[in-house]
Chain A
Amino acid sequence: MKARVLGAVAAALLLAGCGGTSEPGSPPSSGPSGSITVFAASSLTAAFGRIGPDFQKTFPGTMIHFAFAGSSTLVAQIQQGAIGDVLASADQPNMQKLVNAGLTSGSPSIFARNKLQIVVPAGNPKHVTGLADLGRAGLVVVLCASAVPCGHYATEALQKAGVTVKPASEETDVKAVLAKVALGEADAGIVYVTDVKAAGAQVQGVDIPASLNVVADYPIVVLKDSQNIALAKVFIGYLHAKGQETLARYGFLPA
């Protein structure tokens, strides 16, 4: 009881600014309608920013709201009672936490994959050519914190390469790593291919060979407390089908 009251207060605070979850309006006679809130990993920001409007065009009368953050943050928020309909995580472990907590409806499905890339400022001033260079003394490297998927993937990749990195900072999400590199504060970081692609001209990517790379699975699931399970399912279905094209354009690998 107490926990539910707390959860409601937390949700109200967390969701301020994300908009309501059920828009009034006359639903069309057939097909999905209404609105849903999708919690999505920050690496999906650009791709979903495209897919949302596309979906709404395909299904008039629907409205998709997105809340982007690090997957671990999103999971923590949902556990604290944040109200939404769908979670798209950038890794399995965070998703598993939610499944274990019984907060999902149905089992998660993988809708996209991503892989890591080294990000460096445009022009690659420090001539970073691979993971081995990240261990170089004097090179300022930022990584994601290990609680965040991009953090533990990076650790995994570095382990495979047998490289020890002393990061200057452990950022709380992948966008923060990207920002530090884009600003020139860091010489290199490890992020997703998709992030480098979305970041534009200020940065460039240095490929990590497949043997050392880590493929991140992006699972998606309907949340137990969803107010619009129908629309949530349609949205997930769309991602698996028509959405794949857009995801690919943003650098995601097919599921």
Chain B
Amino acid sequence: MASSQRNPRGFPAPPLFIGLAGLGAAFFLLPLAGLLVRTPWGSAWQLLTSPEALTALRLSLLASLSATAIALIVGVPLAWIFARIAFPGRAVLRALTVLPMVLPPVVGGVALLAAFGRRGLVGTWLEQAFGIHIPFTTAGAILAESFVAMPFLVITVEAGLRGMDLRFEDAARTLGARRWTVLWRVTLPLVRPSLVAGAVLCWARALGEFGATITFAGNFPGRTQTMPLAVYLALETNPDAAIVLSLVLLAVSLAVLIGLRDRWLGAS
């Protein structure tokens, strides 16, 4: 049936090729189907509104939104630098800042410990000078999520800035706008679609963060135990709860991807 469908470009795909595509699709769909089949729908609401689940949910929202805010505050300027300023070592710096996208998150967590841990580069000083201790705190969870999620914002916004017509900024300057005015009233509004897409992707990634969080921030309910950590632990004690929590994360991620399909995924 698939092979009889008209291909608008006129190239008829071999049936085997389409079969492989079907296999690929099934590979993605089956785990999701499995989750749905296993979901204890009768007790789902009760599991979801249990104090443990609500605590994890609340913390996840707080941490992921904070991570997104941090990403916006420092990631947008970083994206701007990458898009606009040529300086020696830019390519290297850029690669290093998007590294967390491909780095195993656990490695990210170890690296964060090496930097912000008690005996870390900055952590030692933070502890001695201010008595600030980041691991095992909600701030640590936020930091871990920011580390892993911010690159999504940076590359999305950078692409937006690169694609922007710079003459709009010139126009604003000839109209008397100073740098901050140009930035606030022209540049950022013009890349708003990229900002939104980047922030949402960043948020979704932060929401799903597990490896760096558990490594760097540990696991404690209400403080660092976010949804994915709760899922992981619940799998051993209360698998039904794990499945329901997973389903919530799945629904959020799906909503994000569908919402962004035009902007980021390039589909029509």
Contacts and interface: CB of A to CB of B under 8 A. Distances in A.
Interface stretch (B7-15, B62-70, B77-85, B233-241): B233-241
Contact of A140 (B30, B136, B217): B136
A145 B119 contact: no
A169 B239 CA distance: 22
Contacts of B220: 167-170
B218 A168 contact: yes
Interface in A118-147: 140, 142, 145, 147
B198 to A, nearest CB: 31
B219 interface: yes
A88 B196 CA distance: 50
Interface residues of B, number: 26
A73 interface: yes
B113 A185 contact: yes
Contacts of A70: 236
A172 B235 contact: no
A70 B219 CA distance: 15
A9 B218 CA distance: 30
Interface residues of A, number: 26
B117 A184 contact: yes
A72 B119 contact: no
B237 A180 contact: no
A230 interface: no
B204 interface: no
Contacts of A72: 236-237
Contacts of B117: 183-185
A2 B31 CA distance: 13
B118 A185 contact: yes
- Name, among B38, B117, B235, the residue most crowded by chain A CB atoms within 10 Å (CB to CB): B235
A142 B218 contact: yes
A75 B236 contact: yes
A176 B31 CA distance: 29
B34 interface: yes
A184 B224 contact: no
Contacts of A2: 37
Nearest to B113: A183
A218 B225 CA distance: 29
B214 interface: yes
Contact of B219 (A6, A73, A172, A185): A172
Interface string B30-61: 11001001100000000000000000000000
Contacts of B136: 140, 142, 168-169, 185-186
A169 B34 CA distance: 32
A201 interface: no
B169 to A, nearest CB: 46
B239 A76 contact: yes
A171 interface: yes
Interface string B109-134: 00001000111000000000000010
Interface in A145-173: 145, 147-148, 167-172
Interface of A: 2, 6, 9, 70, 72-73, 75-76, 79, 140, 142, 145, 147-148, 167-172, 176, 180, 183-186
Minimum-distance CB pairs A-B, first 5: A169-B218, A168-B136, A72-B236, A184-B119, A147-B237
